[in-house]
A and B are shown apart, each in its own frame.
Chain A
Amino acid sequence: MRVRLSEIKLRPTGKKVRLDRDLDVESLFIGRGPDNDLSLKGLTISLHQATIRMSDGRVYVEAAPGQEVNVNGLVTQGERLGVGDKLKIGPWEIRVLDPGANADVSLEYEEIDRADSERAALDSRTKLGLETGLFARRPLAWAGVGGVLFAFLLLPLFWGGAQTPWNTGPVSRGHAYVEDDCQVCHSGFFRPVANADCMTCHHDIGRHAPADLAVADLEGARCADCHLEHRGREVSLADLGSGFCSDCHSDLSTRVPQTDLANASDFGSDHPPFEIALVTDPTEEAVSVELTPERVEVSGLEFSHLRHVGQAVTGRGDSKQYLQCGACHQPDAGGFYMKPIEFETHCQDCHRLDFDSTAPADLVPHGDPARIRERIRGFYSARVLNGEVKDAAAPRRLRLRRPGARLDRDEAELSRRWVEEKLAAAERRFFERPGTCDVCHTLSPGTASDGGMGISPVRIQEVWVPGSVFSHDSHAPFACVKCHPAAAVFDPEPESSLTRPSWSQPGMIPYELVAREPSTPVSEESGDILIPSIETCRECHAGAKASGGTKVPSPCSLCHPFHIRELGPMRSVQAEATEEPMPDSDLPAPSAEEVEDEPRRSNEASIDHDVHRNFFDQFNSGYVQSAL
């Protein structure tokens, strides 16, 4: 078999050259080994890869045992070859050409998958550097910036639902219900929360100082300056730290020279004596005076605690019981102060105002003597009209009258005279006989609204220390006498077997029966003042900074609210200071009188709204205000 082999070689210059050689062999061996007729370089080629041989004028290719050849792209063990066929062995391509006359087979071979240099190949398999693709600094930085701006700025700007991450922290419990509704408080863009925003709800929050005092530190102050929100669900907005009050009040006299409040910085060590609202003339408002042992109240009423407490009386239902504090003094619903004493409730069981022995159940109303006279006239006139005159001293015609018959002129005159006689008798009973009205009241002839016998004015002070808030409830474990020693309840019959109500009995004002000794203070006079002094409080209460001792650390806010509703709503201060139109400005402002009428107050401290809500509710109900 004559074979023409042509190698196509690539010169370094880039030119291709053709090298021909002719062989005459039985079969043409192809492989990597040097012993082959056609030895091809390339480690992927077998030492002996394939054989080309001729048979009956036809050319065949055969793979060596265990090898394969690629003919025209198809892998095969053997194949007949024709002109134009292409063999692929390793990086080499062997093309079958027209052999012409001088050869039986003509093959052209060329290294087509020519590997570049080993280094270039190695470089192609080498990947260095961390920053590949998106994992490069610049794309990552853009992604970070874009992601943050989109998720936390753009999205929340156009969709309120995505604003949660803007929230700097949970709002306090009281505001939690509007936490997701930022605009409730943050009403303006790039504007701090205004007082108007707060006062949309807190419209009647009280001022701290009277408007005419013009305290510079308070004028124009923002609610949010002191009440910091977004600090946690359980953080109190009113907890402003121990120094908050004393910052100003420790030298208030220099800061606010026009005030008549004394300086105070600590309850235990630097607090003025209590000031009480004292009635010195029942026709005048109470005056604010320092509480001293010499003070005497002139309420227009005669009353002796000594003659009442400890008395064994027969109460309703004929059960014998002691008159103790709780018989007259009952705490109000909020547990702060005592309900007002009422004649009908507290006195009338013993001090009955009946006027006719034939009708012991008929009582005159306690109060204005003119109304008493009206009631008595009405009572006897009704007897005449109803034909019920049984009085032996009454004129016979009146006694024999039929009920419902018209009164003729004589009868009317008789009746009028008789009624006036009865009235005069009753008046004598009430006003002239000792032991009725004059037990408690001073009679004042001619001062009643009908010109008759009148009663001198009486003024009962209900809240004695209006500058503070005091909760009797908080002190419930202690007997009254602990703080009001002159109100001791003496055991009148120490040896008797009377059932003594326990002071821990539910609903019972606690008291102790004490054995009377000469040194025991007693309140015998109506002018006695039983309000304890600051020393009494200091037996248990120390200043706010006290710790480790046995006394109760007592910050200013324990007794003193910051916002004092009676001084008027705070917004008036704000409106003047910020000149902003306030919402709800149509709410009635307190009249000047109301403000003037306020007793002097010790204005200090923040207020724990929860604790004092009841107190404010009382203000709303008008109860405390009416008492002031």
Chain B
Amino acid sequence: MIGPRTFLEYERYRYLKVAVGVLLLSLVIYVIEDPPGGRSGSSWTGYGLGTVSAATIFWLMWLGIRKRSYASTGAPLKGWVSAHVYLGTALLLLVPLHSAFEFGKNVHTLAYVLMCIVVFSGILGVAFYALVPTAMTRNRNNITLDAMLERIAEIDSECRLAAEGLPDYYARAVVTSIDETRIGGDLRSQLSGKDWDCGTSRALRSLRSSDVDLVGDAKAQERKLVELIARKELLLKQIRRDVRFKGLLDLWLVVHVPFAFATCAALLVHIFVVFWYH
């Protein structure tokens, strides 16, 4: 766990302590205050916690801008991410304290639900960053994805050469292996890390089950072809695992960012409505 540690343990968990402190303080205020009519979002504690929560949410959104401003001389990005993670997670409890644990089928609870999706996708992101890069590095084995793709291309042209003098059956297998092998694709294919209908695998199967009897030079060519395509299949598995890892590292962001914006929209509606109808 190298990646996330740099920001999770930033300055000896400074922002974890801040987040826990804020939560404890809010909890104490929440428990102590006993407003007439009972605790609710519209008590002074409720307004206070709501203001803090909303301010936190808008500040968390600021990370999207801060991470792009490379010229910033303020706190290091690591610190920002650290605070982002801990304060964002704290919102899971801070917001229910604001609403005094009142939920319903309305736009106010929608804002909280969207926020929860954002927070949990963020937690998932941290988890992915903790687990995926190690596995990814191990899988790559010091080769970049580009080099792997280059190697596939080489194998493809070697296959073409090898199949040149072989019967049509072999030529067709090679064409299948080249033309019907796809890498990546839609979300499902990328995240599954597999292709159940991979042209190369089909080609390999058909080559291995070939009952054509070849002799001499052709026999050697055939053996070379099978070996090439088997190597290609292994390489494809490696590439697809890599694509899967990359997908996992991206997936949470595809949820995190749009839902964060949707949360802000719902939050604005929430604030608008409660101050209109309060």
Name A's B-contacting residues (CB within 8 A).
Answer: 32-34, 41, 43-47, 117-119, 121-123, 125-132, 135-137, 140-145, 147-149, 152-153, 164-170, 182, 186, 189-190, 192-193, 225-228, 231, 237, 239-241, 243-244
Contacts and interface: CB of A to CB of B under 8 A. Distances in A.
B178 interface: yes
Contacts of A118: 153-154, 156-157, 160, 178
Contacts of A169: 102, 104, 106
B34 A243 contact: yes
Interface residues of B, number: 67
B185 interface: yes
Contact of B40 (A125, A152, A228): A228
Given A225-B36, A241-B34, A192 B182 contact: no
Contacts of A43: 160, 163-164, 171-172, 174-175
Contacts of B275: 190
B182 A127 contact: yes
Interface of B is mostly: helix
A243 to B, nearest CB: 6
Nearest to A232: B102
Contact of A148 (B190, B265, B277): B265
Contacts of A47: 167-168
Nearest to B256: A137
27 contacts: A33-B165, A45-B171, A46-B168, A46-B171, A118-B178, A125-B181, A126-B184, A127-B184, A128-B183, A129-B184, A130-B247, A137-B258, A140-B254, A140-B258, A144-B258, A145-B262, A149-B265, A152-B266, A165-B106, A165-B107, A166-B106, A168-B106, A168-B274, A186-B277, A226-B37, A228-B37, A228-B40
Interface string B108-149: 101000100000000000000000000000000000000001
Nearest to B40: A228
Contacts of B227: none
B12 interface: no
A175 to B, nearest CB: 14
Nearest to A164: B106
Contact of B253 (A135, A137, A244): A137
Contacts of A130: 187, 190, 247, 250-251, 254
A127 B183 contact: yes
A152 B266 CA distance: 8
B68 interface: no
B104 A137 contact: no
Given A122-B149, A128-B184, A141 B250 contact: no
Interface in B246-260: 246-247, 250-251, 253-254, 257-260
B157 A144 contact: no
Given A149-B269, A153-B272, A128 B243 contact: yes
Nearest to A154: B269
Contacts of B114: 144, 148
A141 B269 contact: no
A168 B37 contact: no
Nearest to A147: B262
Contacts of B178: 118, 121
A2 B273 CA distance: 91
Contacts of A153: 268-269, 272
Contacts, number: 164
A186 B274 CA distance: 11
4 smallest CB-CB distances across A and B, nearest first, come from: A144-B262, A140-B258, A119-B153, A228-B37
A141 B258 contact: yes
Contact of B266 (A33, A117, A148, A240): A148
Contacts of B156: 118, 121-122
B150 interface: yes
B157 to A, nearest CB: 5
B105 interface: yes
A117 B153 CA distance: 8
A96 to B, nearest CB: 26
Among A121, A125, A148, A228, the most chain B Cβ lie within 10 Å of the Cβ of A148
Given A126-B183, A165-B105, A144 B34 contact: no
Nearest to B175: A43
Nearest to B255: A140
Given A144-B261, A240-B37, A168 B269 contact: no
Contacts of A149: 265, 268-269
A118 B181 CA distance: 12
Interface in B49-106: 102, 104-106
B196 interface: no
A36 to B, nearest CB: 12
A152 B110 contact: yes
B243 A148 contact: no
Contacts of A117: 153
A125 B104 contact: no
Contact of A127 (B154, B185, B259): B185
A128 B178 CA distance: 18
A129 B265 CA distance: 27
Given A117-B153, A128-B246, A145 B40 contact: no
B17 to A, nearest CB: 32
A75 B80 CA distance: 67
Contacts of B165: 33-34
B108 to A, nearest CB: 6
A226 B36 contact: yes
B170 to A, nearest CB: 8
A152 B269 contact: yes
Contact of B182 (A125, A131, A132): A125
A34 B168 CA distance: 14
